[in-house]
Every structure is written in structure tokens, then in C-alpha cells.
Amino acid sequence: MTTHEVTLLPGDGIGPEITAATLRVLEATGVRFAWDAQVGGMAAVDARGTPLPDDTLESIRRTRVALKGPLTTPVGGGFRSVNVALRKEFGLYANVRPAYTILPGRFEAVDLVIVRENLEGLYIGVEHFVQVGDDPRAVAESVAIVTRHGCERIIRHAFEHAVRTGRTKVTIAHKANILKMVSGLFLEVGRAVAAEYAGRVEANDLIIDNTAMQMVIRPEQFDVVVTTNMFGDILSDLAAGLVGGLGLAPGANIGATAAIFEPVHGSAPDIAGKGVANPAAQILAAGMMLEHLGELAAARRVREAVRATIVDDGVRTADLGGTAGTAAFGDAVARRLA
Ligand code: NAI
Ligand code: MG
């Protein structure tokens, strides 16, 4: 049996708690891991004086796979977002965020995945103030950079994801009516790639604001949605909200040579250390990692065990209206797997 070497970044705030619960679940799958535990975020600032130590980067360079908890981005002190730095460092161009109904609530059968471009657009943070008269901050300017290569790579990733996972439709979400170049290029490339997949994957395109409304009133129509960085950031939280909130939303950051799996949510300082956070998003992120590592059966079992624990056993954390703590939820999922 293969032993998978994986970099482990438990993260800040609720990170260590949800990571401990996730490791219990992974242990119960029987898949063998050699964890290389590293630090990042505030934990790393405290231990090493920098939010992203070289050892952490070295480890990911070697293992090519990381399971990561949320990292607090220190406010002030000149630190940039560690998450954005990791994406840049390893060229993690695809942010894949599935949202599907576990607990039927407002919607019965949402099952979609947002494929967000992760390296370009407004997110690159090329911005500055312009002084007018004696006001140094009279005008703020930002540059969105979108490349043909970046568009093609992410859109192809979305179509390939559809083919590989048996999904049948890709929606290209854009704002090409207003941003005729920055978003127009994305749409132009999107339509060209879609044509290559004609007959295999259905494709359509929708303007982003309409996409948001459609996703709220009739989310069942979506399968794979591919979009640029900022739109994907917002739309993926919206999608998480449709299916029970951030506690159930996993994500993967994928590049050509490395992949980092993490929950969509942050370090939740308001509930950190209380043992009440929902570890399901982190557990489901670990499930995506199993799939990435080729452990398809274990990935399916983890996904099913989370569903059964919440729905059949009624074991739920506070965010889902229950009383189970973080560790108890993780143990319940692990028992389902045993
Ligand atoms: P957040 O996602 O940490 O929290 C938002 C709300 O959701 C809070 O009320 C929190 O208690 C709740 N929540 C989040 N995860 C939960 C879980 N697993 N179970 C139950 N409730 C949960 O977002 P916020 O407050 O905007 O950010 C806090 C910190 O996290 C910031 O420093 C931010 O930079 C960082 N962050 C890190 C991310 C990452 O590492 N990928 C992503 C988003 C934020
Ligand atoms: Mg976000």
C-alpha cells in the first residue's frame, strides 16, 4: 500500500481543532500518510517571525500536496496574505469549490462546482492612489490583468473536470458586456474552448450578476461554473450559503506541480479554542485530497460518512443547529468509516 507524504499546515484559530478531527477521520480510512507538519500564518509569526517560513515552502515543493487549515492574515506589520502568496508561489491557478446539498433545507438538490481562476484579475493587487491637490488619496486605481494563457488554462481545467467527474455542463460566467477586454477575453477564449468539447460537455455563458441571481432562485441548473478570480471569490461563498454555510464548504487550489486543500472558511477567531467549530469543510477538503491522490474509494467513503453522520445520525455542530463539538463530530465520522 502506498504511503502518501503530505505537508500539514494546521493553521490558526479553529485550524488546529478542525485539523485534529480531520486526521482522526483520515486515519479511519486506512489510507497511509506520512505527515510533514509545518507552520504558516500567525502560528508561524509566533514561532518563526514570518508568516511563511522557507521550510514550509520547501516541504510543499517536495511533497507537492498540502492539507491546510485556515490562516489568519496578520493585520498591519506589512504582511501580505499568506494564502495569496502560496497560490502565487506554486502557481495554483485553479480554485475548485464544490457546493452540494448535504442537509436538504431551502434546496433539495444543489450539486455544483465553482472553478475559480486563482492568479489573475483584480486580485493581483496592482493598485495605487493618485494625489489631487493636497489629497494624497483622492483617487484609487487598480489594474486587472487577464491573459489568454490564464483564461485558456482555467477554462480547460473546468471542462476537463467536467469530463473526469461525469458532469455534463459548464457555465462561463463573465461581465463582457461592460468589461469588453478584461472579461471579453475570458468569454472569447471560453467559447473557443467550449467548441472543442461540443457533443461531450454542454456549455453556456451568463453575465455574472444574472448568474448570482439564477444561482439563488434555481441553483439546480448549474453543474460546473467557471469564472475569473474576483467573481469566483464572491460566487463560491454564495454557493456555500445555499447549502448550509461555510462549515460545509471545502476547496482545492490546484497547479501544475502542487495542490493545496483547505476549507473555504477562515480561522473563525470568534469561536476558536471552544471546540465547537464544524470540521466538515476541512474533512471534505481532505476528501478532495484523497481523490487527487488517486484514493477514489476512500474519497467516496469520506464524503458518504460526512453525509450519513449529519443526516442519518443527526450529529451536527452548532452552525447546523446541533450540539456536537468539533471532536465529537470527527469521531462520529470516523466511526462511520470503521
Ligand atoms: P471566517 O470564515 O473565519 O468566519 C466567518 C464566520 O463564520 C464567523 O462567524 C465564524 O465563526 C463562522 N465560521 C467559519 N468557519 C466555521 C466553522 N468551521 N464552523 C462554524 N462556524 C464557522 O471569516 P472572517 O472572520 O472574515 O476571517 C477570520 C480570519 O480568517 C481573517 O484573518 C482572515 O484573513 C482569515 N481567512 C483565512 C482564509 C484561509 O486561510 N483560506 C479564508 C478566509 C479568511
Ligand atoms: Mg473568499
pLDDT in tens, 268-305: 999 999 999 999 999 999 999 999 999 999 999 999 99
| Substitution candidate for ligand 1 out of 67, 265, 271 with most atoms within 8 A of CB | 265
Min mean pLDDT across 122-136, 187-201, 279-293 is at 122-136
Residue ending a domain, among 204, 223, 242, is 242
Residues 152, 214 within the same domain: yes
Residues 118, 200 within the same domain: yes
Q: How confident is the model at residue 76 (pLDDT cuts 50, 70, 90)?
A: low
Specify the residue with its C-alpha closest to ligand 1, atom 27.
Answer: 266
Predicted local confidence at residue 43, as pLDDT: 87
Residues 125, 218 within the same domain: yes
User: Residue 219's domain is classified under what CATH number?
Assistant: 3.40.718.10
Residues 120, 236 within the same domain: yes
Residue ending a domain, among 242, 266, 298, is 242
Predicted local confidence at residue 173, as pLDDT: 98
The Cα 67–Cα 25 span in angstroms is: 13
| b (16+ CB within 10 A) / e for 3-19 | ebebbbbbbbbbbbbbb
Q: How confident is the model at residue 81 (pLDDT cuts 50, 70, 90)?
A: confident
Question: Which residues are within 5 Å of ligand 2 (an ion), measured at CB?
Answer: 233
Per the structure, the complete domain to which residue 303 belongs is given by: 1-99+244-338
Atom index in ligand 1 nearest the CA of residue 81 equals: 34
Ligand 2 centroid, distance to 141 Cα (angstroms): 22
Task: Provide the terminal-to-terminal Cα distance of the chain, rounded to the nearest Å.
Answer: 18
Q: Which ligand is nearest to the CA of 83?
A: 1
Ligand 2 centroid, distance to 179 Cα (angstroms): 22
CB 173 within 8 A of CB 190: no
Q: Which ligand is nearest to the CA of 84?
A: 1
The per-residue pLDDT of the chain, averaged, comes to: 95
Q: Which is it for the CA torsion 159, 165, 170, 172, positive or negative?
A: negative
Residue ending a domain, among 214, 242, 270, is 242
Residues 219, 117 within the same domain: yes
Q: How confident is the model at residue 125 (pLDDT cuts 50, 70, 90)?
A: confident
Predicted local confidence at residue 87, as pLDDT: 93
Cell numbers at residue 118, please? 486563482
Residues 213, 282 within the same domain: no
Cross-sheet strand order for the sheet of 94-100:
32-37, 3-9, 65-68, 259-263, 250-254, 94-100, 111-117, 224-227, 169-174, 202-207
Average pLDDT, integer, range 158-165: 96
Q: Which ligand is nearest to the CA of 21?
A: 1
pLDDT digits (tens, 9 = 90+) for 235-277: 999 999 999 888 999 999 999 999 999 999 999 999 999 999 9
Specify the residue with its C-alpha closest to ligand 1, atom 30.
Answer: 266
Specify the residue with its C-alpha closest to ligand 1, atom 20.
Answer: 277
Closest CA to 151 of 112, 196, 193, 113: 193
pTM of this prediction exceeds 0.75: yes
Atom index in ligand 1 nearest the CA of residue 270 equals: 11
- Give the residue numbers marked as catalytic: 123, 175, 209, 233
CB within 6 Å of ligand 1 — which residues?
Answer: 14, 70-73, 83, 246-247, 262, 265-271, 277-278, 281, 319
